[in-house]
Structure 1
Amino acid sequence: MGKNYNPSRVKINRSYTVIEVSEILEVHPKTVRNWIHAGLPLVDEKRPLLIDGVDLRIHLKRKRKADMYPCKAHEMYCFKCREPKSPCVESLQFIAKPAGMAQMSGHCCECGCHANKYVSWRDVNQIWVELGGKLPIAEKHLILMGQALLNCPLAEVFDHE
């Protein structure tokens, strides 16, 4: 997996030489020539080699899309294993973020590498159950305000009911 190049730095109604593309995207000219050999279309075969801005932007977007790895709701991408993995239930935490989001944080079960993922707050219970965690049982006779539950995946303590 390579560096992500910003396609919005390329103007679509311009033609670029290999050197101009390398300066805009801050890559070596040989990298741009490798993209041409890999299928980046040219305006014509004459020198200097010209690349349309539209074609370059489309090529960069396709390259970025090819580098993405789809994960299921209960999986996180492990950079050490280089594939989506389920995190260990013991290390899993959900941290509340603004706008109904939660940061899912945990360790890979196989290699122990730390990983993060943002999920919707309403999916937290489903993810927790899919991973085999036990949901906390609400008992009315216990006052748990200001205390963290031992079997709850939430990292924060809520002071309201």
Structure 2
Amino acid sequence: MSRKSRRRNLHSDRLAKINRFYSPDEVQELYGICRNTLGNWVRTGLKHFEKDKRRLFRGDQLNHFHRDRRQRRKSPCGAYEIYCVSCGNKHSLLVGGVTAEHGRQRVRVEMACPEGSGRASKWIKSDAWADIQAEAMHNPDSE
């Protein structure tokens, strides 16, 4: 199976050679991605520099970017956090705009992504929801 035919969200953090410079076309070929994905990576923190009006990426920066992405994905949400699939970030449940659907023993908490148009949701225990509500009342940043 070719590299382009497989969908991979998290890439190896050792794929790029650390002492090499890569052009955008070489990065796309190396990771099997399209130009839009590379642009998204740059917007989310992939460092680059420009030389003679050309964008270049260092191998060690590519590896560092992917290592950080993997680490962010591995860290679990805290008690007052919710994970958004749309933007791939964690958001605080203490900030306002959170809705809740009560079940028998659990509560489905949902909120709009502050960074995009997606929605994040998760199931929590009823007593945890009560703790979140109490903390939100004492939080000066809550709306």
Give the TM-score normalised by structure 1: 0.40
Bigger fraction of residues in strand: 2
Larger radius of gyration: 1
Give the TM-score normalised by structure 2: 0.44
